[in-house]
Chains A and B, each alone.
Chain A
Amino acid sequence: MSETIKRPKRKNPILRTRSPTLPPDRRSRIALGLVRGAAQGKLELQRCADCGTVQYPPREACVRCLSAELEWTLMSGRGELVSETMLRHSQELFFRERVPWRLGLIRLTEGVSLVAHLDARCGPAPSTVKVEAALDRAGQAVLVARPDAGDAALADDPKLRDMTSDPRFRKVLVTDAKSPVGQAVVRTVLEAGADLVWAGHCEPWKKPPGWPAIAELPKTMLVPLDVTDTRSVNELAAELGFKVDIVINTAEHHRTFGLFGRAGVETAKAEMETNCFGLLRLAQAFGPIMQARGADGDASAVAWVNLLSIYALSNFPQHATYSASMAAALSVAQALRAEMRVAGIRVVNIFPGPIDDEWNQLLLPPKLAPSAVARAIVAALKGSVEDVYPGDIAQDWLARFRDNPKALERELGR
């Protein structure tokens, strides 16, 4: 856990809450190719399929042989810091509020030069560094040079903490803390140093295993929240929305039927009610309040996490209506990402494969332990990603989807 991040001072209520500013986000379309890898924390640069030349900044043709066959390829990121500066003056408000700002000129082992944000712990030039892709507060892909050795967290550099949504010293709402994943998320977020967790729960008569212990945890407050009930959502938002720094929406409804497994649309409706409309209700109630707190000191509103499913990418016919509701939820989440971006608030989507819970009993392993999902969520917050595909199944389906979505459709339909 970060030790260099100090507990933020209590907010001075006399002072105006600052409005969020963003780093420059204009990019050419070809440069947006960097976002694909960065969304998952991967440094991908263009590599020529014909001659193997790696190039940066992104181009429309190979700088060496002029081929148009350019592939975004995973890079080691290893390189040498050849020059650096401490910028003390900037043209843009975002950086004016943050200078001095350290920047490096790096030569990758692949032979390309690049400009990157420079971690405070990197030695002076010349020194060895590792370049990573990250997402800045505008949601755009940027390069960050980190020390080559050690595993110092991004958030440990106060200047680079903005690239993360580290839960340390932050207040977190877990919308359904009662489910196995929800319980694991509460515990993991607390271990990561969260100041306070609001543990949402509905159906008070239900006391699943582990739940009573959650109520006993320090820094945890149980709050009634039924995402299928607009009034419940709005009441909670009115009560504590202005204090929430991170929303982790774990609420889901999951039944395991194919299209013909149930007559009528009641099951599908129930799934949509929680998985899609639940997210919509939360977004409408909490989103605008959080937007206003995008720059509220060091512990500002910072992130919104949606627990979706890998089935959102392509329908898994054995769980047909659940898949449909998750596809709808993904679509809402994309809109939410666009809305929250103006305040620099990151929307993180988690696409797990089957979780090892009661509704996936009949699926063969590998299945994800709820604690693994929780760890993936917290790792995403501590890092600088927006799309997370935890576990082997999710990775396998993602690879197949990217390779050929029609093939995956046939494979899942078998």
Chain B
Amino acid sequence: MASRTASYEGVAVAVPVTVPYERFTIRGAHWFIARALKQLVEGAGISKDEIDGLCVASFTLAPDSAVGLTQHLGLSTRWLDHVPMGGASGIVSLRRAARAVQAGDAEIVACIAGDTNHVDSFRLSTATFSMFAQDAVYPYGAGGPNTSFAFLTAYYMRKYGATSQDFGRLCVAQRANALHFPHALFKKPLTLDEYLNARLVADPLRLFDCVMPCAGAEAFLVMSEDRAKRLGLPHARLTSAIERHNAFRDDPVQDRGGWAMDRDCLYETAGVGPADIDLVEVYDDYPVICVLQLEDLGFCGKGEGPDFIRRHSFEVNGSFPYNTSGGQLSIGQAGAAGGTLGLVEAIRQLTGQTLGAKVEKARHALVSGFGMINFDRGLCTGAAILAAT
């Protein structure tokens, strides 16, 4: 049974911000986070000093944390958090910021996720990503997350009969969506043939199954609906959010995530069901995890993902609008920003501020996050439902 959670009533999300992505940069993470903060302030039409809460997610900020950023950026907040949860950090930041706003601990919280990407930084970060990764995964081929997702993908394909074509259809649709999105690093259409004939990276994963690391930032503001109205900001309402860490720890191989444990709570709190959702933004560093999210969030049953993919189209104007800006697979993975990308896109869709193609009459968006392959599986899951005003 889902455990009850207090309502998120009165919480607004606004000012969706993307700092344009770069494949490689010589700048530090602070630069991207600072650009995001400036856009937030300008977008909201407030002074920097009105931001009294800051929540940061970044892999490449070391030796700093959110603490150092307050002085680096001249902020004086009364609420501060650092969420080291990779692809789940956007949802978790939103949850925490929402509660802070509800409780009055902060009035305007800036949630910023950003990372730099130097030529060698991906290797350095995967080598010591976690204690278990360093001790028990990286010495085995040093493949980084490709290795772990290859295991999950091969297992899922064997157990549920998914094919490369199934995963390919998601990737191809995302690319079509990305072609409308100005910040996507991938600018060329992708055909299913190109997807299927791309070089193998870690069997069964091919090139376009793997997210491309880059630099960039994503950000949004959390405040009360009243405040958003007073500021005249287009905003969406947070209606529900869940998070879970290290779910189903006895499964021999991860083929479900914490969403399956908490989705009843998610929909119950929001007062809607999967059928009411108009667009879905899932965490997509590899397509297999997208399928797990579609299943575990109740859009189809466990193992029915492949059939679901065959029955639906995933473009912005398709039967199941999904990863409408192209997702990380076609935009790029700017470190922890990858976990906030979907949230920012959902806010844009619900508030009529899209940079790319628009989902017509979108009322409810479901955003889902997944992060931190600590050893053999991703540990952090989260999801949120946003509603248009």
The chain A residues found within 8 Å of chain B, CB to CB, are: 23-28, 30-31, 56-58, 82-92, 94-95, 99, 101, 103, 105, 107, 111, 113-117, 125-126, 136, 138, 140, 142-143
Complex CA distance for A318 and B352, rounded to whole angstroms: 91
Which of these, B142, B155, B375, contacts A95 with CB under 8 Å? B142
Surface stretch bound by A, among B145-153, B236-244, B276-284:
B145-153
**B357 close to A (CB within 8 Å):** no
Whether B131 lies near A86 (C-beta < 8 A) is no
Whether B139 lies near A140 (C-beta < 8 A) is yes
Whether A85 lies near B376 (C-beta < 8 A) is no
Complex CA distance for A86 and B141, rounded to whole angstroms: 10
Complex CA distance for A26 and B158, rounded to whole angstroms: 34
Complex CA distance for A143 and B127, rounded to whole angstroms: 18
Q: B76 contacts which chain A residues (CB < 8 A)?
A: none
Whether B139 lies near A142 (C-beta < 8 A) is yes
Nearest Cβ on chain A to B374's Cβ, whole angstroms: 9
Whether A57 lies near B136 (C-beta < 8 A) is yes
**B199 close to A (CB within 8 Å):** yes
Q: A30 contacts which chain B residues (CB < 8 A)?
A: 135
Whether A116 lies near B140 (C-beta < 8 A) is yes
Nearest Cβ on chain B to A107's Cβ, whole angstroms: 5
Whether A107 lies near B252 (C-beta < 8 A) is yes
Inter-chain pairs besides A57-B135, A107-B252, A115-B147, 20 sampled, C-beta below 8 Å: A23-B142, A24-B139, A26-B128, A28-B131, A57-B131, A82-B253, A83-B150, A85-B154, A85-B203, A87-B147, A87-B150, A88-B200, A89-B201, A91-B142, A91-B143, A92-B123, A103-B140, A105-B151, A113-B252, A114-B136
Nearest residue (CB) in A for B134 is A26
Whether A85 lies near B134 (C-beta < 8 A) is no
Interface residue range, chain B: 35 or more
The chain B residues found within 8 Å of chain A, CB to CB, are: 122-123, 126-128, 131-132, 134-144, 146-147, 150-152, 154-155, 158, 199-205, 250, 252-253, 375-376
Whether A58 lies near B150 (C-beta < 8 A) is no
Q: Please report whether the interface of chain B is mostly helix, strand, loop or mixed according to DSSP.
A: mixed
Whether B136 lies near A31 (C-beta < 8 A) is yes
Complex CA distance for A82 and B150, rounded to whole angstroms: 12
Q: B154 contacts which chain A residues (CB < 8 A)?
A: 83-85, 125
Q: A136 contacts which chain B residues (CB < 8 A)?
A: 139
Which of these, B128, B143, B376, contacts A87 with CB under 8 Å? B143
Whether B134 lies near A27 (C-beta < 8 A) is yes
Whether A91 lies near B126 (C-beta < 8 A) is yes
Which of these, B126, B131, B151, contacts A85 with CB under 8 Å? B151
Complex CA distance for A26 and B136, rounded to whole angstroms: 10
Q: B132 contacts which chain A residues (CB < 8 A)?
A: 57
Nearest residue (CB) in A for B127 is A24
Closest 8 CB pairs of A and B: A85-B150, A31-B135, A92-B142, A57-B136, A83-B155, A91-B123, A83-B151, A86-B203
Which of these, B126, B141, B199, B204, contacts A103 with CB under 8 Å? B141
Complex CA distance for A99 and B151, rounded to whole angstroms: 17
Nearest Cβ on chain A to B242's Cβ, whole angstroms: 24
Given A28-B131, A92-B123, the answer on whether A117 and B253 have CB atoms closer than 8 Å is no
Complex CA distance for A140 and B140, rounded to whole angstroms: 11
Complex CA distance for A138 and B126, rounded to whole angstroms: 19
Q: B201 contacts which chain A residues (CB < 8 A)?
A: 88-89
**Quick one: which of A26, A57, A107 has the most chain B CB within 10 A?**
A57
Nearest residue (CB) in B for A136 is B139
Nearest Cβ on chain B to A299's Cβ, whole angstroms: 24
Nearest Cβ on chain A to B156's Cβ, whole angstroms: 9
Q: B200 contacts which chain A residues (CB < 8 A)?
A: 86, 88
Q: A117 contacts which chain B residues (CB < 8 A)?
A: 140-141
Q: A86 contacts which chain B residues (CB < 8 A)?
A: 200, 202-203
Q: A94 contacts which chain B residues (CB < 8 A)?
A: 142
Q: B136 contacts which chain A residues (CB < 8 A)?
A: 31, 56-58, 114-115
Which of these, B137, B250, B252, contacts A115 with CB under 8 Å? B137
Q: A89 contacts which chain B residues (CB < 8 A)?
A: 143, 146, 201-202
Q: B151 contacts which chain A residues (CB < 8 A)?
A: 83-85, 103, 105, 115
Q: B146 contacts which chain A residues (CB < 8 A)?
A: 87, 89
Nearest residue (CB) in B for A113 is B376
Given A27-B135, A91-B126, A105-B151, the answer on whether A115 and B158 have CB atoms closer than 8 Å is no
Complex CA distance for A83 and B199, rounded to whole angstroms: 21
Whether A88 lies near B199 (C-beta < 8 A) is yes
Nearest Cβ on chain B to A22's Cβ, whole angstroms: 10
Nearest Cβ on chain B to A400's Cβ, whole angstroms: 31
Nearest Cβ on chain A to B206's Cβ, whole angstroms: 10
Q: B127 contacts which chain A residues (CB < 8 A)?
A: 24, 26, 91-92
- Of the A-B pairs whose beta carbons lie under 8 Å apart in the complex, a sample of 24, sorted by A's number, is A24-B127, A24-B139, A25-B139, A27-B134, A57-B135, A57-B375, A82-B252, A82-B253, A83-B253, A84-B151, A85-B147, A85-B203, A86-B200, A86-B202, A87-B146, A87-B150, A89-B202, A91-B142, A91-B143, A92-B123, A113-B253, A115-B136, A115-B151, A142-B139
Q: B142 contacts which chain A residues (CB < 8 A)?
A: 23-24, 90-92, 94-95
Which of these, B131, B134, B141, B203, contacts A90 with CB under 8 Å? B141
Complex CA distance for A56 and B137, rounded to whole angstroms: 12
Nearest Cβ on chain A to B292's Cβ, whole angstroms: 15
Whether B139 lies near A91 (C-beta < 8 A) is no
Complex CA distance for A107 and B140, rounded to whole angstroms: 16
Q: B140 contacts which chain A residues (CB < 8 A)?
A: 103, 115-117, 142-143
**Quick one: which of B122, B123, B134, B204 has the most chain A CB within 10 A?**
B134
Complex CA distance for A30 and B154, rounded to whole angstroms: 31
Nearest Cβ on chain B to A184's Cβ, whole angstroms: 36
Whether A24 lies near B135 (C-beta < 8 A) is no
Nearest residue (CB) in A for B128 is A26
Complex CA distance for A115 and B145, rounded to whole angstroms: 13
Q: A57 contacts which chain B residues (CB < 8 A)?
A: 131-132, 135-136, 375
Nearest Cβ on chain B to A123's Cβ, whole angstroms: 13
Nearest Cβ on chain B to A160's Cβ, whole angstroms: 12
Q: B199 contacts which chain A residues (CB < 8 A)?
A: 88
Q: A82 contacts which chain B residues (CB < 8 A)?
A: 155, 252-253
Whether B147 lies near A91 (C-beta < 8 A) is no
Q: A105 contacts which chain B residues (CB < 8 A)?
A: 151, 155, 253, 376
Nearest Cβ on chain A to B132's Cβ, whole angstroms: 4
Nearest residue (CB) in A for B157 is A83
Whether B139 lies near A103 (C-beta < 8 A) is no
Complex CA distance for A120 and B150, rounded to whole angstroms: 18
Q: A83 contacts which chain B residues (CB < 8 A)?
A: 150-152, 154-155, 158, 253
**Quick one: which of B126, B134, B151, B199 has the most chain A CB within 10 A?**
B151
Complex CA distance for A143 and B137, rounded to whole angstroms: 10
Q: A115 contacts which chain B residues (CB < 8 A)?
A: 136-137, 140, 147, 151, 376
Q: A84 contacts which chain B residues (CB < 8 A)?
A: 151, 154
Complex CA distance for A101 and B203, rounded to whole angstroms: 10
Nearest Cβ on chain A to B104's Cβ, whole angstroms: 37
